[in-house]
Each structure stands twice: as C-alpha cells, then as structure tokens.
Amino acid sequence: MNSTAAPSTMQIVPIQLDDRSYNIHIGGGLLTAPASFDGLPKAATALVVSNSVVAPLYLDKLLGVLRQRHATVHTVVLADGESTKTWDSLNQIFEGLLSKACDRKTVLYALGGGVVGDMTGFAAACYMRGVPFVQVPTTLLAQVDSSVGGKTAINHPLGKNMIGAFYQPLRVICDLDTLKTLPARELSAGLAEIIKYGPIVDMAFLDWVEANLDALMACDPEAMAFAVKRSCEIKADVVSQDEREGGLRAILNFGHTFGHAIEAGMGYGAWLHGEGVGCGMVMAAMLSQKMGLADQAFVERLTRIVKRAGLPTVAPVLDARDNAGRYMDLMRVDKKADAGQIQFILVDGKGKATVGPAPDAMVAEVINACCG
C-alpha cells in the first residue's frame, strides 16, 4: 500500500461545527498510516501526551509518523487512571510545553483513553489561550464518546469533570487495532457508552448491540467497526446540533448523573467511568419507569444487556447512615443541575430521551432499590 494512501478500511464521520468542523477517522492500522494525518498542521513542534500504560504499547509507533510531519516531537507520559485527572497532572503537560518553549502553533496529540484526552484537550484550550490538538483515542470508551465533541476537563474531589472547557480537536483518529490490547474490564466500560446510544436515539442500534454483544466482547473487527462508526455518527449528529450542551446534547449523559455520583462517592478510579455509566443507566431506566415513561419490560431488558456486557447493575452503598441523601448531595454538584435541582436523563424505552427533574422521594426509592 502506498504510504500516502489511506488504509482501505478507513471510514470517516464528519462533525459539522462551522469553522470548528472536523472528521473522525475510523479503521485498523490508522496509527501508523501517514495518510491518517493528512491535512493537519505541519508545525515545527509537536507534543504527545500519553500515560504509563499506553506509551509502551503505541508511543513509538505514533512518533514514527509524527516525526515525518514535525521537526521536533516532545512527549509527556502521565501516570494512569481516573485518580490522576487532576491539577497536578494538568500542570505536568503545561511544564512540558513551557520547558520546551513550545509556541502557539505547537500541535498536541492525545494518545490514550478518556483521561488523557480530556486533560490534553483542556491543556490545549488553556495554553497560550488555545493551541491545536488531535485526539488519538486508544480505548473503546474514548473512541465512541470522550474523544468526540470537544468536552475537556479535570476532576475535583467534589465533582467529576467540573473544571474544563469546550474545545474541539482538529481530528479524531480511532485506530481499531489498539482495542486488541484492552483488558476485558476496559472493553466492558466502553460498551456502556455504546449501549447508551440506543435508548436515547436509536433502538434499532440497541437491537443490533444486543444481538452482537458476544462479538463485541470478543473484539470482533467487523462488529467493532460498525459499533464505533454508528456510535460516532449518533454523537456527531447530536453535537452538531448542540455543541455546548444548551439542550439536546444533555441526552448523551444518560446514566451519567447516577454514574458520576458513584465515581465521586467511591473515590475516582474505584469504578471505571463506564462501570458507573452502566449501573447509572439501570438506575435511570428504573427512574424513567417510575416517572411513567418506560415500562418494566424495558428496564429488565436494559439491565440484562448491561449485565451481559460485564458491567455492574447493583450500585454501591456510599453512606450507611443516609445513602440516598449522599447520592443526591453528589448529584447536585453536577453540570446539569439547575439552581441545585438535579436534572435526570430519562428514556421512554422507544429511543427517545428527555431531561428534567424528578421528585426526591422517587429518586430515593430508586437508589434504595438499586444499592446492595
């Protein structure tokens, strides 16, 4: 294959955002294909941000391509895990940029999962008030969700992703081959974000996911290529209509209100983000049923799918004295909260989602029913 030609398996999903529009490239072998990077800036300097798990696997491969585009390529390798999504880690990126005298044309590349992508994007948004960056996600969760749409952030002990900015990448390069090295737990975490797209937009996709779940868990290339592409198409369509989460985009947080509370309450890293989302979807579906939107059959079906995907369906107890109160306190520290009122993403079981409040007593019933 000619090194300047795109891999034959590459598919492109566009995100239409006027002058901030960009493409998501999906396929095998993209990480080492120069054509994956065609059209991106050829600045003199680049900086790759990765972590201690991903760097040994893929950093040298990416550097081999980038050194054909940039005269100098610096690297910053962070510790791994959600617990590292902090000011200290963010400052390591800034130190890498400043110590090498990187200028405003320097291109940042985020090589890793959602934590690396979120922090690199936030650093790019802040450094010299904005430098270009490219997402190179290596986890399933990052490929189908966090790398797409321009949400960047770090965590605070009181709330997940509460400090950040909307800042779009120049491109997202999803090399499906990187998923082959994912641990089973990380793969399951990514499946949570794939599953969520069905109940909020496309129940036919949920039907497909349910029928092909075994293939997805085995990382079958054909099944994975379709799942990643369809997930990106759905997210791209929503983000194109509502870039800054003024309304519609909030539906992408199905399961996240409960899930973020679990992550914050247990301590970041105890559960993976996708595990919190998976269990959170079960809780949100049960709340939807109590609110008269979905039926019991849908709740039971979604619970089965989440469980089959290797995700938890029983929520943890965060406070033995007042568990429901602890959950609701954490959920009030949420970007979607309105004047302290928790906003939930509710579904009707037919592929439609709404955003709104729910009575505290009803939410408490769900929390008590779901916690074990």
The overall longest dimension of the chain from CA atoms, in Å, is 65
Whether residue 80 is annotated as binding a ligand: the answer is yes
Residue 181 in marked binding region: yes
Q: Is 260 a catalytic residue?
A: yes
Query: Which residue stretches of 100-220 are H helix?
Result: 114-126, 140-141, 184-200, 203-211, 213-217
Q: Based on the residue annotation, tell me whether 249 is a catalytic residue of this protein.
A: yes
Is there a binding annotation on residue 349? no
Catalytic residue among 70, 196, 235, 335: 235
Pick the catalytic residue from 230, 249, 290, 335.
Answer: 249
257 is in an annotated binding site: no
- Round to whole Å and give the CA distance between 312 and 259: 11
Residue 356 counted as an annotated binding residue: no
186, 193, 263, 275: which one is catalytic?
193
**Main-chain dihedrals φ then ψ at residue 321, nearest 5 degrees:** -85, -40
Q: Is 220 annotated as a binding residue?
A: no
116 is in an annotated binding site: yes
From 253, 275, 290, 335, active-site residue: 253
Catalytic residue among 25, 273, 290, 335: 273
Does 242 count as an annotated binding residue? no
Do the Cβ atoms of 55 and 24 come closer than 8 Å?
no
Closest CA to 79 of 105, 50, 104, 102: 50
Set 25, 171, 230, 260: catalytic member:
260
256 is a catalytic site residue: yes
Cα–Cα–Cα angle for 84, 85, 87, rounded to 5 degrees = 100
Annotated binding residue 138? yes
> Is-catalytic flag, 365?
no
Q: Is 334 annotated as a binding residue?
A: no
Beta strands in the chain (DSSP E): 11-15, 22-27, 45-51, 72-78, 107-112, 133-137, 151-156, 159-166, 171-175, 344-347, 353-356
Verify whether residue 155 is a known catalytic residue.
Answer: no
Choosing from 25, 51, 70, 151, which is the catalytic residue? 151
- What 3-state class would DSSP assign to 361? helix
Task: Count, in order, helices (H) and strands (E) of the chain.
Answer: 13, 11
On whether 273 is known to bind a ligand per the annotation, the reply is yes
255 within 8 A of 284, measured Cβ to Cβ: yes
Residue 100 CB partners (closer than 8 Å, separation 6+): 45, 47, 72, 74
Is 117 labelled as part of a ligand binding site?
Answer: yes
Is 193 labelled a binding residue?
Answer: yes
Contact 82, 96 (CB under 8 A): no
Q: Is 352 annotated as contributing to ligand binding? A: no
Q: Is 160 annotated as a binding residue?
A: yes
Q: Name the catalytic one among 70, 256, 290, 335.
A: 256
Inter-residue contact 288 to 349 (CB < 8 Å): yes
Q: Is 83 annotated as a binding residue?
A: yes
**Does 129 qualify as catalytic in the annotation?**
yes
Q: Is 303 annotated as a binding residue?
A: no
Q: Which residues are annotated as a binding site?
A: 80-85, 114-118, 138-139, 151, 160, 178-181, 193, 256, 273
Q: Which residues are annotated as a binding site for NAD(+)?
A: 80-85, 114-118, 138-139, 151, 160, 178-181
Q: Which residues are annotated as a binding site for Zn(2+)?
A: 193, 256, 273
Q: Give catalytic residue positions.
A: 129, 151, 193, 235, 245, 249, 253, 256, 260, 273
